[in-house]
Structure 1
Amino acid sequence: MITAGIDIGSRTIKVAVLRDGEIVGRALDTAGAEPARRASALLRDALLAAGVSRDAVAHITATGAGRALVEDAHSTVTDITAAARAANFFFPGAVTVVEVGAEESRAVKTDGAGRVLDSAVNEKCAAGSGSFTESMARALGMTLEEFAEKSLQSTTRIAMNAQCTVFAESEVVGLMHSGVDRRDIAYAVNDAIATRVSATARRVKLEGEVVLLGGLARNRGFVRCLKEKLEVDRILIPEAPELADAVGAAIVAAERAA
C-alpha cells in the first residue's frame, strides 16, 4: 500500500510517501505565500522521487497548523498524533516524545505503540521554538550550522535573562558589545531554549528514553543542553527529524486506508 503525509507548518512544508511502511519519497520546502499550492507541488515532487503516480496513492493525510488547506488530502490528523506515530515508527516502543517546531514546542506521552496518552504544548513563548534560534543566530551574524557548532565550543556559562524574542535580540547585541564571546552567547541561547522545552516535557512525566523530533534536533548544541536539563544520557533522534510529522501522517493514512 502507498500512502502520503503532508505536514504544513508555519514555516515549512514536508511531504513523505510510504510504501508498505517504508519511506520511498520525500520533499521539503518553505511554505511561501501560497502554502496550499506549494503543498501540491511538493506532493508531486515526493511522488516523483518515489516513482509512483498520484493514482497509486491509497490515502493522503495532512497535519500541521495548515492541514485544513491541503486540497489533496483525504483526511487530517493533529500534529500531536502524527508525532506519536512517527516516534514509534522510528523507535518502536518509544514512550516520551519531544518536538520543537518553528513556533512552538510540545511533549507527548504515548503507550509505546504510537497512541497518545498525554501531551503538553508551549505555544505562548517563542523562546521554546526553532524561530527563536533563527532570530538569535541572525543577531550573532551566524548561520544555523555555525550557531550550533559555536555553542559546543563554549567555555564560559552566562545567563540569558530575556525570554521574548525582541528583548533577547537586544540582549544578544548588548552582550556582543560588552565583549562576550559569541560562542558563550550561542550556548546561553540554546540553554534558554532547552530550559523552556524541558519544562514542557516534564509536564507529561518522562518515561524511558526521549525521542526528539523537529528541525531543532539538528542543532547539536541544543541537544546537549536538553540532555543536561532532562538529566538523560542520550536522546534518540531520527535520520530526518524535520520530516517526522509528515511520516506520522502517512502512517495514519495507511491505518485509515486499511
Structure 2
Amino acid sequence: MIFAGVDVGSTTTKIVLMDENGEIRGSLLGPTGAEHRSRSKEVLEKACLQAGIEPGQVDYTVATGYGRINVPYADRQITEITCHAQGVLHFFPEAKSVIDIGGQDCKGIKIRNGKVDNFVMNDKCAAGTGRYLEVTAQTLGIPLEKLGEVSLTSSQPAQISNTCTVFAEQEMIGKIASGTPVEDVVAGIHEAIARRVFGLLEKIKIQPEIVFTGGGAKNIGIRNALERLLKTTLSIPPIDPQLVGAAGAALLAIKFKARG
C-alpha cells in the first residue's frame, strides 16, 4: 500500500510517498505558484513516476500546509503544526521542540509526551523567513544557497537593526555604500533573523532536543546563529528539511487508513 502526504506551502509544494512501513518511496518539491490545485496534481504525478506507480495506486492522502484545501484528491486535511510534529517524531523520537523556517512564516512547536503541547507562529511579517533571505540575496547579488556560507567568512557581523524586510533592504544598501564588507552585512542579516526567531521561541520556552526544519534549516548561517542564542546543537532531519511536514502527513495517512 502507498500513502501520500502533500504539504502546500506559500512558496513551495512538497509531497512524500510512503509504504505501510513508513519507508519513503518517492518525494518531490517545487514552487507552489498561483494554481495550487494543478500544482498539487503535478507533484503527485511526478512523485508516483519516481516511485514506479500510478497516482490511482495511492491508497490514502493527507494534505497539509497553507493551501491544504486545494488538494482535490486528499482524503483529509490536517494542520501543518500537527504534521510537522509527527514528521519530526518519526526521525527523532525524543524531540521536545521544533523550529520551522519557511518561505513566508516561521514556527516554533513544543512537544510533550509525543504530542503538540504548544506552538507559536509568525505569519504576519516576512522577517525571520525565507523571504527575508531572498531579498538579501537579490539586493547583494549573491545566490540564495550561498548566503549561509558567505556569512561564515565574516569576522565582524554588521549590526542590522531593522527586522522589517523592506527597511532591512535599505539598511543593507546603506552599509554597503559606507564600505561595510559584504560578508559582514550578510552575517548581520543572519544574526538579525536568528534574534527575531529566538524572540518568537521564547514565548513557548522550547527545550532540547530541538529539531530544525524547513528551508531555513539548509542555511548554515542561520543554524549557527540560532545555536549560539539557544546554547544547544540543533538536530537536522535525515531527509530534505523541507519535506518533514509532508512526511508527517504521509505518516498520518497510514494511521487514518489503518483505523478504517
Q: Please tell me the TM-score bracket, short chain as reference.
A: over 0.9
* More displaced stretch, 10-19 vs 195-204: 195-204
Per the alignment, residue 44 of structure 1 pairs with: 45
Take 1:89 and 1:199, find their aligned partners in 2: how far apart are those partners? Answer: 27
- Percent identity for Structure 1 against Structure 2: 38
Take 1:149 and 1:85, find their aligned partners in 2: how far apart are those partners? Answer: 31
Per the alignment, residue 235 of structure 1 pairs with: 234
Q: Is the 2:163–2:193 Cα contact (8 Å) retained in structure 1?
A: no
Deviation of 1:112 after TM superposition, in Å, equals 4.6
**Secondary structure of the structure 1 residue equivalent to 2:110:** strand
The answer for unaligned runs of 5 or more in structure 2 is: none
Per the alignment, residue 88 of structure 1 pairs with: 89
Q: Deviations over 1:198-240 (max 9, x none)?
A: 12222222222210000110100110001011111x1101131
Q: Is the 1:94–1:112 Cα contact (8 Å) retained in structure 2?
A: no
Deviation of 1:23 after TM superposition, in Å, equals 1.0
Per the alignment, residue 119 of structure 1 pairs with: 119
Take 1:48 and 1:93, find their aligned partners in 2: how far apart are those partners? Answer: 34
Q: Is the 2:2–2:58 Cα contact (8 Å) retained in structure 1?
A: yes
Q: Deviations over 1:91-145 (max 9, x none)?
A: 12211111011111111111253x2111111122211111101111111110112
Per the alignment, residue 171 of structure 1 pairs with: 171
**Secondary structure of the structure 2 residue equivalent to 1:58:** strand
Q: What letter is aligned with 2:69?
A: A
Per the alignment, residue 106 of structure 1 pairs with: 107
Alignment map for 1:6-85 (pairs within 5 Å)? 6-19=6-19, 20-85=21-86
Q: Once superposed, which parts of structure 1, at least 4 consecutive aligned residues long, lie more than 6 Å away?
A: none
Per the alignment, residue 221 of structure 2 pairs with: 221
Take 2:243 and 2:97, find their aligned partners in 1: how far apart are those partners? Answer: 18
Take 2:33 and 2:124, find their aligned partners in 1: how far apart are those partners? Answer: 23
Q: What letter is aligned with 2:212?
A: L
Deviation of 1:188 after TM superposition, in Å, equals 0.6
**Secondary structure of the structure 2 residue equivalent to 1:235:** coil
Q: Is the 2:109–2:206 Cα contact (8 Å) retained in structure 1?
A: no
TM-score by length of 2: 0.95
Per the alignment, residue 158 of structure 2 pairs with: 158
Q: What letter is aligned with 1:188?
A: G
Per the alignment, residue 188 of structure 1 pairs with: 188
Q: What letter is aligned with 1:44?
A: E
Q: CA RMSD in A?
A: 1.1
Q: Deviations over 1:13-44 (max 9, x none)?
A: 11100112011101111112212101101101
Q: Is the 1:88–1:112 Cα contact (8 Å) retained in structure 2?
A: no
Q: Is the 1:12–1:29 Cα contact (8 Å) retained in structure 2?
A: yes
Q: Is the 2:4–2:249 Cα contact (8 Å) retained in structure 1?
A: yes
TM-score by length of 1: 0.96
Seen in structure 2, the aligned counterparts of structure 1 residues 127 and 82 have a Cα distance that, compared at 3 Å, is: same
Take 1:140 and 1:48, find their aligned partners in 2: how far apart are those partners? Answer: 39
**Secondary structure of the structure 2 residue equivalent to 1:119:** strand
Q: What letter is aligned with 1:118?
A: N
Q: Deviations over 1:38-80 (max 9, x none)?
A: 1101101111111222232221011111000110111101010
Q: Is the 2:96–2:209 Cα contact (8 Å) retained in structure 1?
A: yes
Per the alignment, residue 199 of structure 1 pairs with: 199
Take 2:91 and 2:241, find their aligned partners in 1: how far apart are those partners? Answer: 10
Per the alignment, residue 209 of structure 1 pairs with: 209
Take 2:33 and 2:41, find their aligned partners in 1: how far apart are those partners? Answer: 13
Q: What letter is aligned with 2:51?
A: A
Aligned length: 256
Take 2:34 and 2:55, find their aligned partners in 1: how far apart are those partners? Answer: 25
Take 1:199 and 1:50, find their aligned partners in 2: how far apart are those partners? Answer: 41
